[in-house]
Structure 1
Amino acid sequence: MKIFYTLIAGFMTVAMLTGLIAYIGLTNTNAISSSYMDVKEETFPVMEALEKMKFHTSERIHYYTHGALSEGAEHEYHEEINKATEEYYSNLNKYEVLVDKYFPDEKGSLEKIKKTTERFNRSCYDILELGNSGAPIKGSKEYVEINAAEKELIEAIDEALEYEYTEFDERSEQVEGTIKSTRDAILLVSLITFIMSIVIGAVISISISNPIIKLTEAAREISRGKLDTSVDIRSNDETGILSDAFNKMVRNISDEIEEHRRAEDELKRTGEQISIMIDSLPLIPYTCKAEGDFAVTYISKSVTRITGYKPGDFTSNPSFWADNIHPEDKQKVFEELTLLFEKGEYYHEYRYKISDGSYSVFGDTLRLIKNPDGKISHIVGTWQDITERKLAEISLRESEERFRSVAQSANDAIISSDGHGKIVFWNDAAKKIFGYESSEVLGKQITILMREKYREDHNKVMERIRTTGESHIIGKTVELHALRKDGSEFPMEISLSSWKTGEKIFFSAIMRDITERRRNEGIQRENERLALANRAKSNFLMVMSHELRTPLNAIIGFTELLKKKEAGDLNQKQQRYADNVHLSGKNLLRIIDDLLDLTRVESGKMEFTIEHVSVPVAVNEVLENIKEKAGKQKIIIKKDLGHEIEFIDTDGQKFRQVLNNLLDNAVKFSKPEGGTVTITAEKEGDMAKFSVADNGIGINEENMGRLFHSFEQLDSGIARKYGGTGLGLAVSKKLVELLGGRIMAQSRYGEGSTFTFYLPVAAKKEGGG
């Protein structure tokens, strides 16, 4: 324990010398303090009072002179003059007290100041009186007097201040002398203390320096990693004990370091594995502050792979996370974070701008971390890019909406059921077809739509699908009978499909009510039968027409010979008979021709020859044929052919036939007293317009819709009176349409009719067959 006692002796010696220095310093400090207090309590107040008196003297002269020079200013500066005067006399009284107490030898200066003060006050009063009288101030005796009084007062105050400054300098020299002697004594004792300290330090160093140096060198070696280093100090004092303890410590540290190194290596390997696992996750673990902009303090390297940003982008900029939230989502995100503090954990989703400038949707799971004392420390969370999932959800929703929209707008019933046959979807068409509201069937068995005898088979099929996943009806279309809400049955066409969601299987059926189709199929079969009959009729008419034309042509030819008296003269009765036979033959031939044309049109065997037809020539030819009949019925035929429509490209024979039918009807249905028929032709655009107008019997409005029907006479009485088969207009309409035109009629009963048809001026040269 030698070092301990040596250090105690050295410290005691130094302490004694330090105490001596303190005593010297304290003694002289009291003397200095006493001198300073004298100055503070005596000299400083006197100097302060004199300085203020000097200031207030200048202030008073300012206010007095301005009050005298300015009209009415005395009252304006009255308050300032009184205040400055009060301050002056307050400091004068203070100066007088200090002189009586501390400086009796300065009473001469005090009396002089009082005397000059009285003179100054009289001058101030005089200058004010002069100012109030309105006499000029500057240059007056009073003005000179007040300036002289001010100067005398200032000089008296300056003399007193000069005396105080001299007194202050003397006392300052006394204090400086005391400080110098104190400093010299302290320096002397401090020098002795310094020398003694060196001696004591040298003695102590000699006794402990060598062991300390050895320990230091050993510590350096250990710091370099040489843990087998030891210190060889053999003594019974503290250094020997320290040496043994040091060696033991080194051994323990070596063992602990080795153990720590092994643990650290293992921890490092584990940390690297965990880091690799975290960085390879589709998540982004992070920590952030629980305040302000929630600045990120740590974030996984996986953030670079997922967002393109580096971890440093987040940790170096406190507002980086908040700045890149989508502007439309930012307020909502921060509002939702308040729920985190209420619940302790929270999940929300928002759009976030990644490095390429686009926005991705991220799911953010957060949890509050608290200190042992319950205070919030920070937030830990995981970020996950859920953009693809969101797009898939949107796509799924859109697909569902499209399906529902299509399903609801479909004319066919669309019904879905689960694997147990319970209805889960029911569209509007199903409601219309079956009569059930969706609320009546959702959750019910689909067998309510089936006849009783089909339900057991349906249940067996459903069980087989649930068990094996196979069915021969999936993907096929079948026909069966279904049951409406009112119990009525109807034929139905059904297409069945299935799909799976996880382990659950669902079925969808598209059902169509084919009642109308079945009815139409029956009608179609009947139409086909009628078409066969019609074709047979047409063939019969064609054959019969051809068979009748040969003898009829012979009859017409022979009657023409008789009329021309080729076989000799005929008496009047024979001539009438020959005319009747010839006219009837002509009428019958026209009927046969109409029948042939109708059968050709209906069978699609009508042929056309397109040629350059002269309209005037064709019209004249038709008029020539009808002239005799028109003359007999007192009909005047007029024509009005436009010069711009001299030629058209059409089938000339069919064109003349249509004109002939229309003119023949116009003449036939004339009034008994005769009338007028007008044929006109003009060009409208690329069409030729032909009209045949009469002032005959006209047509009832209710009969207009049946004008162009085959084998129809509008009135049985008219048919008996005027004759005809009702084929002329029907054939004309079909011919005009096949030539690329159209025909129409206008009529007023009792006033006449106008038939108009249009043909292309330049028609395509096509043949029909």
Structure 2
Amino acid sequence: MKTDASKTTMVSRSAEPTGAPKTVAVPAAAEEDTLVAMLQRDLLEDGPPTCIVDAAGTITYANKAFHKISDALAAAEALPSQSSLGTRPHGPNTSPVAVSQEHKLTIEGRTEYFRAKRRAIRGADGSLRATAMVYEPTTKLKATATALVQATTRLDDTTRLVSDWVWETDQDLILTFVSPRVHDALGYHPRELIGRSLNDIPSEATPKLLSLISSRQHVPFRDIEVEVPNKEGEKLLFRLNGLPVYCPDSGDFLGYRGTAENVTALRQREEALIGAKESAELANRAKTEFLANMSHELRTPLNAVIGFSEIMESELLGPLGSNQYKSYASDIHESAQHLLTLINDILDVAKIEAGAHELREEVVDPRDVVNAVQRLVAERAKRADQALEVALPENLPRLRADERKLKQVLLNLMSNAIKFTPEKGVIELSARLEDDGSFVFQVSDTGIGISREDIPRAFAAFEQVDSRLNRQFEGTGLGLPLSAGFVKLHGGRLDLESEPGVGTRAIVRLPANRVL
């Protein structure tokens, strides 16, 4: 086909199969290249895949880009001779009905997309002479569109699933978007709020929020609590978060975007917990005061009982007349002493709980503490037919501590070890300096032990771990809690490691700042 306007002759090899067109463009004779010819070459030869189909449906021209995808077009049945876009419409002056069509092609194992567009080529008389097919690559565009759809879907799903409701405003703080979650939170449909000012939504907005959103600083805000009435008029507490939004091109302020979290139930739970905590603290103070007062009241008559029983036992005012009376006086004295010890322990526990216990700190030699405790419990261990061992390394450092309380801690631990260790058992009291600088006292025994899950109960006041082996032993259950409290006053901790039938290790660990 020869065209005066282009001065280019299009020659096709019509004998070749249309599925793989092998067409060439033979330029018309010309004395020199013109700008028009150069433009045609750049647009056609170096442009997107392009071909020309004559009135009979035969490809008369195809550029090199078209040849690269022709096999893929044939496989997808998308060649002009196979596609409705390549057929000439009925009537000499009519235009094609379909102007574009998208094709999915497989090229060298990868999927690519092209949009085929038809352009009519008319003669000088206006008649339709041929059709130009341009295949515009849309793979990147389609990938971008797919990513946009995924991001939009993800955002829509998130705004539906999260408990917060999402909002956006324009530069005048007029709501332009409200997520569907607002219906669950306030009972409003999003359309009922869009178009209203953010200033109109809170019924009792905090001054901080009002100053932020009405200022021209456009700063982000976070965790600002406001009361918002729902559709029934009930006031709910919301926590607002917002970020300013700017135009990526001009940098102009566009509005705010943020979330609103319903914290009404959370605040109610917090207030309930605070109220319960205050009630518990009040009850605990009342209990502590009661124990302290009762302890003081009981100690006065007990001291009299102990004093008179000692006089009667020693027969300072003359013989009692019967040895049984003397035995009774001894029992009274022993019971009163036990009761006084119990009252003192209760008073100490009450003081620790009330934070009224104070340390009388001094320089303490741990050897003196260990030796003093050993002397106090040696006779008791001997009566129980138990081996008492002491292990102290050389050059133990001195400590800054309350010596009396340290002795009481170790005495309680040793008493427990003796109490819960059968005959022929072994009890060891040791001390050492750890690599991290902390100081450790350790009491080990081969007694009945307790299970791991029962250890927390052993540290509870007035609590005894119940088993078939240890119900025979007396005790108030104050030794361990009192010892743990004294160790905590020193900034340390008391740990128990135990296994039923194997024994128990009580570890008193004092911090490094206690070591001199």
Which of 452, 455, 464 is matched with 1:701 structurally? Answer: 452
Distance in 1 of aligned mates of 2:323 and 2:394: 46
Distance 1:746 1:450, change over 3 A: closer
- Structure 2 distance, partners of 1:447, 1:751, is 62
Task: Say whether 1:449 aligns with 2:192.
Answer: no
Quick one: distance in 1 between partners of 2:473 and 2:175?
73
**TM-fit CA distance, 1:471:** 6.4
If each structure's helix is expressed as a fraction of its own residues, which one has the higher value?
Answer: 1
Question: Is 1:590 paired with 2:367?
Answer: no
1:413 CA drift (Å): 2.5
Contact 1:616–1:646 at 8 Å: present in 2 too?
no
Distance 2:468 2:386 in 1: 22
Where 2:431 maps in the other structure, the secondary structure is strand
Q: Does 1:495 align with 2:240?
A: yes
Shift of residue 497 of structure 1? 6.2
Kindly indicate whether the alpha-carbon contact (under 8 Å) linking 1:450 and 1:481 is maintained by their aligned counterparts in 2.
Answer: no
**2:362 counterpart residue number:** 611
Letter in structure 1 aligned against 2:226 = V
CA distance in 1, matches of 2:343, 2:162: 51
Is the 1:746–1:754 contact (alpha carbons within 8 Å) kept by the matching residues of 2? yes
Task: Tell me by how many angstroms 1:640 deviates.
Answer: 2.2
1:747 paired to 2:482: no
Question: Aligned partners of 1:712, 1:744: CA distance in 2, in Å?
Answer: 17
Deviations 1:545-579 (A, max 9, x none): 12222222332333334444434456542343233
Determine the C-alpha separation between the residues in 1 that align with 2:237 and 2:506: 50
Supply the distance in 2 between the matched residues of 1:750 and 1:589 (Cα, whole angstroms).
33
Amino acid of the residue matched to residue 448 of structure 1? H
Is structure 2 residue 292 aligned with structure 1 residue 542?
A: yes
Q: Tell me the residue number matched to 2:260.
A: 510
Structure 2 Cα separation of the partners of residues 559 and 744 of structure 1: 40
Tell me the equivalent position of 2:484.
733
**2:226 maps to which of 478, 482, 485:** 478
Q: Is contact 2:438–2:510 with CA below 8 Å preserved after alignment?
A: yes
Check whether the contact 1:449–1:482 (CA below 8 A) recurs between aligned residues: no
| Contact 1:642–1:683 (Cα < 8 Å) also in 2 | no
Whether the 8 Å CA contact 1:482–1:491 is kept in 2: the answer is yes
> Counterpart of 2:391 in 1: which secondary structure?
strand
The one-character-per-residue Cα deviations of 1:45-92 (angstroms, maximum 9, x if unpaired) are xxxxxxxxxxxxxxxxxxxxxxxxxxxxxxxxxxxxxxxxxxxxxxxx
| Coordinate RMSD, CA, aligned | 4.6
Among 304, 315, 330, the residue aligned to 1:579? 330
CA contact 2:397–2:515 (8 Å) conserved in 1: no
What percentage of aligned pairs have identical amino acids? 31
Alignment gaps of 5+ in structure 1: 1-288, 292-333, 343-399, 427-440, 484-488
C-alpha separation in 1, matches of 2:345 and 2:395: 32
Q: Give runs of aligned pairs for residues 10-29 of structure 1, distance below 5 A.
A: none
Task: Tell me, in whole angstroms, the C-alpha distance in 1 between the residues paired with 2:390 and 2:374.
Answer: 10
Inter-partner Cα distance in structure 2 for 1:290 and 1:590:
115
1:670 paired to 2:421:
yes
1:436-457 per-position Cα deviation (integer Å, ceiling 9, x unaligned): xxxxx4xxxx6533555x679x
Q: Shift of the alpha carbon at 1:508?
A: 3.8
- How much has 1:503 moved relative to structure 2? 11
Per-residue deviation, 1:585: 2.2
**What SS is found at the alignment partner of 2:300?**
helix
Change (3 A) 1:608 1:497: closer
Deviation at 1:597, TM superposition (A): 1.8
Amino acid at match of 2:184: L
Match of 1:158 in 2: none
Which of 374, 377, 388 aligns to 1:623? It is 374
Query: Matches of 1:498 and 1:699 in 2, distance apart?
Result: 57
In 2, Cα distance between equivalents of 1:711 and 1:717: 19
CA contact (8 A) 2:352 2:485 kept: yes
The alpha-carbon deviation at position 722 of structure 1 amounts to 1.5
Matches within 5 A, 1:29-44: none
Deviation at 1:539, TM superposition (A): 0.9
* Mapped contact 2:386–2:425 kept (Cα < 8 A): yes
In 1, are the aligned partners of 2:451 and 2:500 still within 8 Å (CA)?
A: yes
State the one-letter code of the partner of 1:648: L
Please list, as runs of the form range in 1=range in 2, the aligned pairs for 1:272-421 lying within 5 A after superposition.
Answer: 413=164, 415-417=166-168
1:494 Cα deviation after fit: 4.1
**Uncovered stretches (5+) of structure 2, i.e. residues with no partner:** 1-33, 37-41, 51-150, 211-224
Residues 228-254 of structure 1: CA distance to partner in whole angstroms, max 9, x if unpaired?
xxxxxxxxxxxxxxxxxxxxxxxxxxx
Distance (Å, rounded) in 1 between the aligned partners of 2:323 and 2:446? 35
Residue 504 of structure 1, CA deviation: 8.1
Q: How far has the Cα of 1:532 moved from its partner? A: 0.6
Q: Is the 8 A contact 1:416 1:423 kept in 2?
A: yes
- 1:642 to 2:387 alignment: no
Name whichever structure is richer in strand by fraction: 2
Determine if the alignment matches structure 1 residue 683 to structure 2 residue 448: no
**Matched residue, 1:465:** 197
Partner of 1:52: none
Q: What SS does structure 1 have at the residue aligned with 2:472?
A: helix
Distance 1:599 1:609, change over 3 A: same
Q: Secondary structure at the match of 1:592?
A: helix
Residue 637 of structure 1: how far off its partner (Å) = 2.5
Q: Which residue of 1 aligns with 2:68?
A: none
TM-score, length of structure 1 as denominator length: 0.39
Conserved? CA contact 2:439–2:515, under 8 Å: no
Which whole-Å deviations, capped at 9, do the CAs of 1:490-547 have from their partners, x for residues lacking one? 9652437697989987764422444344224312211211111011101111111122
Question: SS of the counterpart of 2:443?
Answer: strand
Q: TM-score, normalised by structure 2?
A: 0.55
Range 602-611 or range 684-693, more displaced: 684-693
SS at match of 1:715: coil
Over residues 322-380 of structure 1, what are the superposed CA-to-partner deviations in whole Å (9 max), with x where a residue is unaligned?
Answer: xxxxxxxxxxxx99xx779x9xxxxxxxxxxxxxxxxxxxxxxxxxxxxxxxxxxxxxx
Q: Matches of 1:290 and 1:554 in 2, distance apart?
A: 128
CA contact (8 A) 1:693 1:752 kept: yes
8 Å CA contact 1:648, 1:761 repeated in 2 = no
Q: Which has the higher contact order (CA 8 A, sep 6+)?
A: 2
* 1:552 paired residue number: 302
Q: CA deviation at 1:743?
A: 1.9
Amino acid at match of 1:552: L
CA contact (8 A) 2:444 2:503 kept: yes
- TM-aligned CA deviation for residue 723 of structure 1: 1.9
Cα distance, 1:482–1:574 mapped onto 2, change above 3 Å: farther
